A and B are shown apart, each in its own frame.
Chain A
Amino acid sequence: MDILDGFYGKHYKKYIALPAVLFVVFAFIAFIYPGIPQGIDLTGGTEIIVHSQTQINVSEVQSILEEEFQLTELTVIQTASGFRIKYSNDPKSVEAEELIIQAENSLDNESESIEYSRQAMLVLNKETQETYANPKLALLAAQTALADYKEVFSQTLLDMLSEKLGLGENVSFQRREVSPTLGSTFYQSGIMVALWSTILVILVVFAFFRKIVPSMAIILAAILDILAAMAGMALFNIPLSLASIPALMMLIGYSVDTDIMLTHRLTKRSTVPAFQRATESMKTGLTMTGTTLAALTAMLLISYFYQIDIIYQIAAVLVFGLIGDLFATWFMNAPILLWYTEKKGGKL
């Protein structure tokens, strides 16, 4: 660790360039391209876990599903004991669902609403010889048609896969479906939680440090950590879900550990020069983050190989975030605090 001596010197302000660039890069990866996938927890959708001993080729499954069913947001992942399919929904039911929503919204305008319901049934290939006089009845018929369609759809999909891949007898399916409405309920609670967490963190940090610049630096570092984790999620296709959201929150808890330590050591009165205090803090901080990262990496690997989805998502988010925290704390937070100390006339 003695290599680190002299890490902070006269040139310390230059360090800030790195986190500044990272802010932009992480935000781009997380929100623009490739973007974070949303899990079925939040969007609604279907997940099918196929347990089969038969050797299969993931890209073959993918192409069969794409060709035969035109699924959107389809992902097929190989697992230790088979494979896992996720799709948001097939285009027909998505289209029908949209039409049904329009029919619901336009119930007052009878002929328009009936027309929407009729179109929804047309999309689902449901014969519509009946002429409806009552928009509610038309809507109900369309809703029933959609429910039937979905049920037949997933069964056909499974049958097709068993047949084309020759999965034979020893195959079992585990199916999980989250309805879009439940998904949006989860999504709303997720946003609510994130908002309140942010407010509480800001309150706690300000309550402890009572100075604008150090407190802001800590909060800025937490934001960079979360962006780093989100960029990692986008790159490794880890969805925003009921498991990854609390992990993102927890990341704030982890990242402030080192920030608070650093801030406390740099802002207290001391006879030791600030550069040296910063370097000492860095040694402590790297040990903290290092132990955590090492332990989390072990969790990440084990959960990846044994398909423990919840733990995999949580561990991955924390690992990416803590890597980001190394930059946030030592390249951003420390220089900001050193600059702050300098302004206040402290001894560097």
Chain B
Amino acid sequence: MNPLIKNWRISVLGAALIIAIAIILVNGLVFGIDFEGGTTMQIELQEEVSSDEISRIASIINQRIDPSGLKDASVSPVGNKFIIVDLAETDSSELEKIESRIRKQGKFEATINGETTFTGDEIVAVLRGSSGYGVFQAGKQVQWILPFVLNEQAARRFMEDTFHQCAAVSFNASGTPVYDCESTYFFLDKPEALIVIGEDQYYSDVDLFYVGNRQKNIPSGIEIDELIENSQLEVINYDATTNFDDYNLSTLLVETNTVIVSPDVPKTAIIALQEKGFTVETLENESGVPWVWNALSVQQIISLTEEVTNEDVVDISQAELITTLTIRGTRPDVFEAREDLEELTILLESGSLPTPVKSISRETISPSLGESFKSYVVWMGIISLIIVVIVILARYRMPKLALPIVLTGLSEVIITMGVLALLQRPLDLAAFAGLIAAVGTGVDSQIVIADEIIRGDKEDVHESLITRAKNALFIIMAAALTTIGVMFPLLVFSFGLGKLVGFAWTVIIGALIGILITRPAFAKIVQKII
């Protein structure tokens, strides 16, 4: 055996095996959702987009699903309208949350005095790591604070819009003035719709705004008309005298055909709107929350402070440019506060989707099903191997030949897995099938090698052992290259077709390892032992 070990082909095989095992131990195998349990989501966009755009959308979605980058989620565009997401999550409430986060378009807008002062796209960064970021106890309530940085253009606009927007209303005991300031209104995914609010709803909303709602983070004392003005949406106060013909609805129709109406708007008004070509959606009331708050998708209303509005200087040229602002909110308990903060942070960091999501369908494989798949395929591998050994023994009746074939097959499996672990490619059912297929062609090649060398052309005087080995290597080289040639287009043309790609990768890796490492070594072993 000694000269055998010295042969370089066999040393290469041994080295490859050791390295592969080391990589598997260090990196670990990545199992796909077939084995680990997980969910595949198929996201359809509202319309087809360019390929640049779809990869941008995919990266936004990726950030929303996995803001920390710790979960292993794979997000891949398919064509120009679809995005397929594989993630490890199987808990349905968590999935609902992720789904709703993907569905949000994430259009974030801040307005002052009825004018947009900045949008989410102008936010450069959320200061996640700063000491100001987080949830803090504030009396009985919990306050969350989210500091963020605006780009310079938006910061300048914000400075101009807020300049001297506070008015001193009185002085306190120590003589410093007490200010009453304008508010900034924040909207998240404000609907593109006409809003029709009934008379009864309007007055009940006025009352609700007067007291506010701490649970829902609605400050007290909001002026409903000011809020409506800041939403920049067309809002109709509906009462018995309202005639829709008085409003210029046909110009509005060009932009949107959706109307959101409060539950008290009568059927006749709804029909009148439908006749004009609108699709009418009735938004239900949520107890304790002004209807219009939900209808306008208000995220937050925050009063400005005198530091922000530069009350201390007279002229705007002396005003200080503030680029770091904060959004804050209160919640009754820490968990809700943390969740609010987290959701808003994710949306602001990921930015808004250029095209909204039309539908999401998903399929979940439970971890226990995955676990049983894992044990089935292990058995499949073992049984296949046993069958191969039986067939080889029946054919050649040489146990010393069967052993190297099994060992070579096993080393192909191990080295291929090592490469998968190195590339961090997931092993799923399709990849497993590819592995078996690759090892199958490997066994074929070994039979060719064995046959060439043992039998070859027995009577052929021209052929030495070495020529025969060369013949065998020509055959297996041609066979492996065809296999690689056949599988290669699967890698190139099937982005996102996870199943196809996993299969193709393992077959190609397996075939390459076969021709480069294991089969030459096997040829050497057979030459020596025969």
Contact = CB atoms under 8 A, between A and B. Distances in A.
Contacts of A182: 42, 44, 78-79, 81-82
Interface stretch (B68-76, B146-154, B425-433): B425-433
B513 interface: no
Interface stretch (A93-101, A157-165, A296-304): A296-304
Contacts of B327: none
A203 interface: yes
Contacts of A310: 34, 429-430, 433, 499
Given A176-B361, A182-B79, A318-B437, 14 more contacts: A132-B277, A134-B253, A140-B279, A245-B500, A250-B486, A254-B437, A256-B478, A257-B479, A270-B463, A272-B459, A272-B460, A287-B451, A294-B390, A308-B376
Interface string A251-273: 01110111011001100111110
Given A137-B277, A196-B493, A277 B487 contact: no
Nearest to B494: A189
A287 B391 contact: yes
A314 interface: yes
Given A249-B487, A292-B444, A204 B379 contact: no
Contacts of B363: 174-176
A253 B277 contact: no
A32 interface: no
Contact of B478 (A174, A208, A243, A252): A208
A197 B387 contact: no
B81 A140 contact: no
A298 B383 contact: yes
B97 to A, nearest CB: 20
A90 interface: no
B314 interface: no
Interface of A: 1, 130-134, 136-137, 140-141, 144, 147, 174-179, 181-182, 185-186, 189, 192-193, 195-197, 200-201, 203-205, 208-209, 242-243, 245-247, 249-250, 252-254, 256-258, 260-261, 264-265, 268-272, 277, 280, 283-284, 287-288, 290-292, 294-296, 298-299, 302-303, 306, 308, 310-311, 314-315, 318
A141 B387 CA distance: 61
Contacts of A246: 430, 434, 487, 490, 499-500, 503-504
Nearest to B276: A133
Contacts of A252: 482-483, 486
A263 to B, nearest CB: 9
Contacts of A208: 474, 478, 481
Contacts of A178: 42, 361
A205 B482 contact: yes
B479 A256 contact: yes
B445 interface: yes
Nearest to B257: A137
B78 A264 contact: no
A294 B391 contact: yes
B451 A189 contact: no
A280 B475 contact: no
A254 B275 CA distance: 65
Contacts of B441: 253-254, 257
Contact of B444 (A137, A204, A254): A254
21 contacts: A144-B279, A147-B359, A177-B361, A181-B82, A186-B78, A196-B489, A200-B489, A204-B485, A243-B433, A250-B507, A254-B437, A256-B482, A260-B475, A261-B475, A264-B471, A271-B457, A272-B457, A284-B455, A290-B391, A291-B443, A295-B443
A264 B477 CA distance: 12
Contacts of A271: 457, 459-462
A181 B499 contact: no
Contact of A185 (B79, B385, B455, B457): B79
Contacts of A318: 437
Contacts of A179: 42, 44, 359, 361
Contacts of A141: 279
Contacts of B388: 291, 294-295
B373 A308 contact: yes
B78 A270 contact: no
B489 A130 contact: no
A290 B363 CA distance: 38
Contacts of A306: 372, 376
Interface string B157-175: 0000000000000000000
With most chain B CB atoms within 10 A of its CB, the pick from A134, A136, A252, A284 is: A284
A183 B440 CA distance: 31
Contacts of B474: 208, 264
B178 interface: no
Contacts of A294: 387-388, 390-391
Contacts of B429: 308, 310-311
Contacts of A268: 471
Contact of A257 (B372, B384, B434, B445): B445
A267 B355 CA distance: 61
Given A1-B395, A189-B494, A246-B504, A314 B447 contact: no
A208 B478 CA distance: 7
